[in-house]
């Protein structure tokens, strides 16, 4: 008898990462074991945000098939929602969308014959092992041990869905209407992950800033939380949780209450990813983005006045239908004015299920690539300029693990108080991410592990 094995391949956003990790925990609780290859069940969690993403999905499905020759192949996530026919043509065994992937475990168990030698003894997932008919099939308790993965930080999905319907975006069609997880459920999960040793969480969602907007007036929670800021205030109270990072937030949700909370509480990382998409009002209107460049500037100025050193990263799409050379230059000038700390640049990808696909004045690939190259190169300048202000400062960092290379010279600052008295070893080189969203290397003679929070002075940028 052997325990079933699985491997998950994840593409796309942080929400997908959370969904994959959540599914992994449930599989583990059901008695499954992670495999490097030749798994019994290979799962591909897909993304369809661009055409290139869909191509990567198909390549990953074939990779999963190659690395797990005898496995049942499952495709989950965004691709089955709008491209189910294409998925079916790939001859996979299980197909689930963004809302029902949890059913995969029960279905997989139902098709495995008893004579296969696979046993499901750690959980009541297997109907063949049920002794009490009152027990629900598929009910597995997730304890703090279920969250111990050895990773540095924890992605926590608190919200799903979007109702903005930007003209270029397929996500609202994939993820459905906006839904927020109950406050008590979020807080309970955070308590478990803190008990498992995590010190940093990254809150993620499809439209994170609208957390709680779907709570009706009759919704009741003991904390009286109605929005993202209210949830943040509750999370801050949890002992042992040291850092909270927001994965992405729209500028329309960067309100005065959020800015004040970031200013007054060091648990919230000094980094916001605020998508711009275009610095030209004409293009923003075509994109159906709900703000103007004037509003964007006002919010950023308010944020920087309160927290001058905050890192502000962004997304920008170049080559949108109708974007002239002049429009692109307006965007470039606007980006220079805002002085972001980093840009995430995307050439426009025409998605046939969105309004932008049929817009006039589509641009050739060559122009889109040229404009993307210009902004990507400028982003390198922005990163370097932003990081220079921290040279010589003591920084808090979440350890990601050992770094390759030789121990560098320079002043070394011992870890924070919680590490004093721990066994020491000869100096080693570690890497980690600061709250300002850049990576550093540093020496330490402490036995550090991924997820530890330390303060260091002697460090260098990790390129």
Question: 329 and 408 share a domain?
Answer: no
For the chain, what's the residue count?
Answer: 463
Quote the pLDDT of residue 148. Answer: 53
Residue 432: φ, ψ to 5°: -170, 170
Answer yes or no: do 85 and 124 share one domain. yes
Q: Are the C-beta atoms of 463 and 441 separated by less than 8 Å? A: no
The sheet that has 41-46: what strands, in order across it? 33-34, 5-10, 41-46, 72-77, 94-95
| Residues 158, 114 share a domain | no
For 169, the domain range is: 147-269
- Domain edge (last residue) among 120, 142, 164: 142
Record the tokens describing residue 12, joined without a space. 């796309």
Per-residue pLDDT at 3: 84
Do residues 277 and 366 share a domain? Answer: yes
Residue 342 backbone dihedrals phi, psi, to 5 degrees: -170, 145
Q: Which of 369, 370, 276, 361 is nearest to 323 (CA)?
A: 361
- Same domain for 128 and 63: yes
Backbone torsions φ then ψ of 442, nearest 5 degrees: -155, 155
| CATH number (domain holding residue 303) | 3.30.750.200
What CATH number does the domain containing 168 carry? 3.30.750.210
Residue ending a domain, among 223, 248, 269, is 269
Q: What is the pLDDT of residue 99?
A: 78
- DSSP alpha helices (H): ranges in 77-236? 79-82, 84-88, 103-111, 171-175, 183-195, 228-236
Q: What is the pLDDT of residue 193?
A: 93
Based on the domain organization, do 257 and 156 belong to the same domain? yes
User: Locate tokens 């927020």: which residue?
Assistant: 180
Co-location of 325 and 412 in the same domain: no
pLDDT tens for the chain, 463 residues: list them.
Answer: 578 899 999 998 888 898 998 899 888 888 889 999 899 999 999 998 888 889 999 999 999 999 999 999 999 999 998 888 999 999 999 999 887 777 888 888 777 655 455 655 544 343 333 333 333 333 344 444 445 556 789 999 999 999 999 999 999 988 889 999 999 999 999 999 999 999 999 999 999 999 999 987 666 676 788 999 999 999 999 999 999 999 999 999 999 999 999 999 999 999 999 999 999 999 999 999 999 999 999 999 999 999 999 999 999 999 999 999 999 999 999 999 999 999 999 999 988 889 999 999 999 999 999 999 999 999 999 999 999 999 999 999 999 999 876 665 544 333 333 333 333 455 889 999 999 999 999 999 888 999 999 999 889 998 7
Domain CATH number, residue 107: 3.40.50.12160
Helical residues (DSSP H) of 269-364, grouped into ranges: 281-287, 293-306, 325-338
Q: Count CB atoms within 10 A of the CB of residue 170.
A: 23
Number of domains observed in the structure of the chain = 4
Q: 220 and 175, same structural domain? A: yes
CA separation for the pair 246, 249 (Å, rounded): 7
Let me know whether 100 and 158 are in one domain: no
User: Do 318 and 431 belong together in one domain?
Assistant: no
- Single out the residue in 389, 404, 439 at which a domain terminates: 389
Distances (CA, A) of 291 to 141, 277, 278, 295: 44, 11, 11, 6
Identify the pLDDT of residue 224: 84
Same domain membership, residue 98 and residue 221? no
Q: Sort strands 439-446 and 424-434 into parallel, antiparallel or unpaired.
A: antiparallel
Q: Are residues 277 and 265 part of one domain? A: no
- Contact assessment for residue 135 and residue 124, using Cβ atoms and an 8 Å cutoff: yes
């Amino acid at each position: 008898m052997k325990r079933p094995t699985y491997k998950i391949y994840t593409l796309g956003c942080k929400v997908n990462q959370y969904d994959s990790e959540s599914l992994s925990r449930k599989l583990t609780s059901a008695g499954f074991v992670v495999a490097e290859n030749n798994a019994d069940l290979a799962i591909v969690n897909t993304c369809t945000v661009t055409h290139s993403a869909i191509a990567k999905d198909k390549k990953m499905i074939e990779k999963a098939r190659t690395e797990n020759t005898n496995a049942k192949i499952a495709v989950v996530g965004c691709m089955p929602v709008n491209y189910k026919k294409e998925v079916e043509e790939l001859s996979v065994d299980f197909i689930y969308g963004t809302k029902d992937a949890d059913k995969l475990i029960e279905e997989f168990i139902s098709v495995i014959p008893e004579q296969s030698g696979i046993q499901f003894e750690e959980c009541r997932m297997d109907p063949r092992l049920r002794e009490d008919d009152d027990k629900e099939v598929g009910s597995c308790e997730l304890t703090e041990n279920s969250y111990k993965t050895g990773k540095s930080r924890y992605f926590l999905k608190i919200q799903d869905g979007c109702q903005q319907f930007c003209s270029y975006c397929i996500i609202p069609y994939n993820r459905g209407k906006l839904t927020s997880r109950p406050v008590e459920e979020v807080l309970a999960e955070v308590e478990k992950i803190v008990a498992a040793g995590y010190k940093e969480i990254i809150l993620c969602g499809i439209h994170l800033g609208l957390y709680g907007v779907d709570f009706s007036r009759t919704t009741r929670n003991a904390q009286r939380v109605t929005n993202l800021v209210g949830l943040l205030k509750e999370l801050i109270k949890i002992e042992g949780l040291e850092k909270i990072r927001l994965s992405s937030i729209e500028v329309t949700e960067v309100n005065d209450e959020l800015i004040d909370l970031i200013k007054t509480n060091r648990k919230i990382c000094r980094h916001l990813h605020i998508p711009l998409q275009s610095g030209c009002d004409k293009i923003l209107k075509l994109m159906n983005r709900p703000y103007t460049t004037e509003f964007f500037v006002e919010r950023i100025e308010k944020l920087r006045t309160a927290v001058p050193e905050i890192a502000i990263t962004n997304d920008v799409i170049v080559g949108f239908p109708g974007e002239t050379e002049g429009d692109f230059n307006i965007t470039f000038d606007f980006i220079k004015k805002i002085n972001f700390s980093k840009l995430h640049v995307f050439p426009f990808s025409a998605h046939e299920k969105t309004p932008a696909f049929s817009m006039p004045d589509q641009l050739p690939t060559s122009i889109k690539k040229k404009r993307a190259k210009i902004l990507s190169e400028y982003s390198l300048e922005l990163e370097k300029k932003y990081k220079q202000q921290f040279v010589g400062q003591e920084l808090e960092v979440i350890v990601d693990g050992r770094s390759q290379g030789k121990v560098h010279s320079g002043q070394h600052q011992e870890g924070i108080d919680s590490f004093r008295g721990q066994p020491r070893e000869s100096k080693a080189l570690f890497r980690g991410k600061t709250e300002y969203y850049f990576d550093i290397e540093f020496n330490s003679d402490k036995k550090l592990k991924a997820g530890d929070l330390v303060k260091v002075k002697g460090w260098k940028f990790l390129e």
